[in-house]
Chain A
């Protein structure tokens, strides 16, 4: 460790004061108490939202998702006079970093982010640091009544963290693998993480995962962890540092075996899951995966994948979770953001989202409890040849506590982060 170099006392004081003036003084804004809009008084929210512009920070790497968001923007402008601007991120963490930085300089209102597409670690981090708008708003939205809270427990606990109405659900996710049946036979496919590593040994260079901390890449590590840890119950609690090495040892033994057989020998990785899709179409990968069960079908529809691609999961279960939208504590257009969040869980918006021709992202609603017309809209959807039926998707494994992902990512970086 390098020793700290402190300046002598008086000089230190002077410099400190001067510099504080430079960095902080300009940033002190008087605290204002503009009451947050109250969703239980919905007409007033609608009134306040009219004319607002909502800056929705959402990952912008997938064309079909961008197009869906643009559609949602056109809809809420028509119905409610709310303008939507999609701030396309290449990583959701950037939006969190923006809010954190704004809080750091004391910008407690008129922030630059109105709504974030979020879940898991980023949500946990924002909740912990008090960066989200008052608890409970999400449970008071008018369309909340359609949400399948009972049947989909991850709507209320996001990666073991209680949601408490701080974020509103948007879609369901389940880890699904896919392969091209024209190249690989269904019966040769692995049925667990361990078998996947064996498969890669026999087919070197034909499998990879996005480089952590990419969300899907880290999720793959968690899938391996969930399958290999001796006592899975431990994953639902924060990491026990003393036991971390022992707990993750089987996982890293497996990853060590996988490493030399990865695509490009693990010297580089796909950027993210759409990149895996591209590599599969290029014939560089034989097995890819996604958190959206309809992704293969959507890829076929978009001409990004051949129509011989099919999906599969592990019989022992794969990770499942819910993704959400959240409003930062210092958002500028809170009412507008609520109107948008409410629209996103309307049966109309959810049915469109689940259509593989549009996006294919599974709904968070309880379809059976919907009014007949809406139920029919869902029933009319053709989920497509490459999408597994809900009953074929298999067991959903719980997401580990966010602390695990952080520790596993650090350890991954230490082991494989400098491959060259």
Chain B
């Protein structure tokens, strides 16, 4: 072997270089295949029945009957409106909170503390946050219990329609709770690419207040860099299933909830309605994005007009405080919600209006733990595999981009496609294809499907630190005669270890929290903690929900903790790397 290598003049080092070059060269094609393949195949499988074509069900002509039936459903327009409204409102509210927090905060100690508080929130699954919200704010929830009967006089909970209120306000707030941390971290990542502190000093020298100065001078540059994540949040909020099922209106429910109902209807002719509904859902998401770009325009016109007036808004101390308080409040709400989940999981009898349970018991844990093993391992295995492969691909694609010094805009959009095309719309077509294929439901198949959603988030999380890497380190190493592999492995990857592990934790959290892809493609045969949690949640048993939501939160939390700890331990002798 060694002799052969020498003869071919390929040292192991050169061999590694060559393998790396090949891997880097093919990685973009692989990524496109993995992301676009399932989405396009799934959309095709949705579109054909949506226009009447579904031979096995006797649909062999193209027609619009599915739409006729769809729009004859009671309350359908209300459902469409709800999806649109809640999605736009949740995104707008989250973005405003994030803008104000950054505008008021960057550079202050309070803000540094806030960002440290808010990062772990990214690990909290949407469903767990929604349950926490429910346990906190429902008429028989913790807040109401705290105040009753002493302050309110309520001996029984008031008959108020929260959550599930018909206009979806509780859904909007529940969504915002989880989108604020995400957008804040995206904004911080984007902010690292612009010189905020220097710009601030310059703007302040003109006499602008912190918030107004930030909005006029820095925000436009920042926002340009985080538009895609904002669109992803918008698409997610208009089409999310689990949060809408927990907090959303029920009568009628948002479109996506009804869509899932039609998909699961044993009356297969409902599949025509479902497919048409899936197409409408895609259009709805596009409409939301269009409306949003309209809002962007309006915002920029307003801003320009305002800045033209030259007002400085220098006295904004109160506004600054309020902005930070609102952002802090989201953390407090989510964390209190999680504590309540934990408390419910060990509660015995806990009647209204008692603020704490009358007894504590491990009963719920004892009965849940023996059944949790299988789903737990499936969750961990699928999350590790899908994230591991995604991470490897993302690293290669990013390496290629930084070597060729090109960022394909089309590529960017492609990567976000699975985050913008509604899950329900293509998964449901994909499910039919998988069903019709000779492959049985298996872990590899589930891993592939999870990668469609994990890969974009890994890319999102690693992209900015990767591009922000100071290439002079590598140039020096090359100058010292190091091989390509060595430079890649010992310089680039080693120095980026922290963001790489964070990206892994993000991907892990995404995979562990995926519901719809797991039930539809796994056919229920590969249950994860999340699918178990949703099935149990249908029974409304707060104790069982507490147990599963707690586990659901624990897994990504462990991943994030490891991402923090490992570099600290590894770099114990390298002071500059321990930031």
Contact = CB atoms under 8 A, between A and B. Distances in A.
B527 A112 contact: no
Nearest to A66: B371
Given A98-B523, A281-B351, A283-B140, A263 B159 contact: yes
B264 A93 contact: yes
Contacts of B351: 281-283, 306
Interface residues of B, number: 83
Interface residues on A, range: 35 or more
A23 B54 contact: yes
Contact of B156 (A55, A101, A274, A284): A284
A266 B140 CA distance: 18
Interface string A136-160: 0000000000000000000000000
A211 B539 contact: no
Interface in A10-31: 12, 16, 19-20, 22-24, 26-27, 29
Contacts of B433: 23, 26
A101 B435 CA distance: 8
B321 interface: no
A158 to B, nearest CB: 16
Contact of A6 (B45, B63, B74, B156): B63
Contacts of A27: 56, 435-437
B425 interface: no
Contacts of A63: 364, 367-368, 536, 539, 541, 543-544
A401 to B, nearest CB: 17
A4 interface: yes
Identify which of B63, B140, B524 gathers the most chain A CB atoms within 10 Å of its CB.
B524
Contacts of A310: none
6 contacts: A4-B64, A100-B268, A204-B159, A269-B250, A271-B539, A414-B74
A112 B251 contact: no
Contact of A418 (B67, B78, B438): B78
Nearest to A266: B251
A418 B74 contact: yes
A112 B531 CA distance: 17
Contacts of B436: 23-24, 26-27, 105-107
B525 A87 contact: yes
A282 B440 contact: no
A94 B534 CA distance: 14
B535 A90 contact: yes
B363 A303 contact: yes
B377 interface: no
A413 B441 contact: no
Interface in A102-133: 102, 104-107, 110, 112, 122, 125-126
Given A26-B436, A60-B532, A302-B363, A264 B539 contact: no
B296 interface: no
A101 B432 contact: yes
Given A24-B56, A281-B350, A281-B351, 18 more contacts: A12-B61, A19-B48, A23-B56, A26-B437, A26-B438, A60-B532, A63-B541, A66-B371, A93-B266, A106-B436, A271-B539, A274-B539, A277-B540, A283-B140, A283-B155, A283-B157, A284-B140, A284-B157
A101 B368 CA distance: 32
A8 to B, nearest CB: 11
Interface of B: 44-45, 48, 52-57, 60-65, 67-68, 74-75, 78, 139-140, 155-157, 159, 161, 164-167, 249-252, 263-268, 347-353, 359, 361, 363-364, 367-368, 370-371, 374, 431-433, 435-438, 440-441, 523-525, 527, 531-532, 534-544
Contacts of A269: 250-251
A77 interface: no
Interface of A: 1-7, 12, 16, 19-20, 22-24, 26-27, 29, 55, 57, 59-64, 66-67, 70, 85-91, 93-98, 100-102, 104-107, 110, 112, 122, 125-126, 204-205, 211, 263-272, 274-275, 277-279, 281-284, 302-306, 413-414, 416-420
B540 A275 contact: yes
In terms of DSSP, what is the predominant structure of the interface of chain A? mixed
Identify which of A63, A112, A125 gathers the most chain B CB atoms within 10 Å of its CB.
A63
A104 B56 contact: yes
A125 B266 contact: yes
Given A4-B61, A63-B536, A264-B161, A274 B166 contact: no
Given A2-B68, A24-B56, A267 B166 contact: yes
A269 B531 CA distance: 23
Contacts of B74: 413-414, 417-418
Nearest to B65: A4
A378 B522 CA distance: 40
B542 A278 contact: yes
Contacts of B251: 211, 266-269, 416-420
Contacts of B523: 98, 112
Contacts of B349: 281, 303-306
A205 B159 CA distance: 7
Contacts of A112: 441, 523-525
B62 A6 contact: yes
Nearest to A126: B266
Contact of A105 (B78, B139, B370, B435): B435
Given A5-B62, A303-B359, A419-B251, A284 B539 contact: no
A420 B252 contact: yes
Contacts of A16: 53, 60
Contacts of B249: 268, 420
B361 to A, nearest CB: 7
B68 A61 contact: no
Contact of A272 (B68, B532, B538, B543): B538
Nearest to B56: A104
A204 B158 CA distance: 12
Contact of B532 (A88, A95, A283): A88
A110 B252 contact: no
Contacts of A270: 540
Nearest to A28: B436
A97 B368 CA distance: 28
A94 B310 CA distance: 61
Nearest to A301: B363
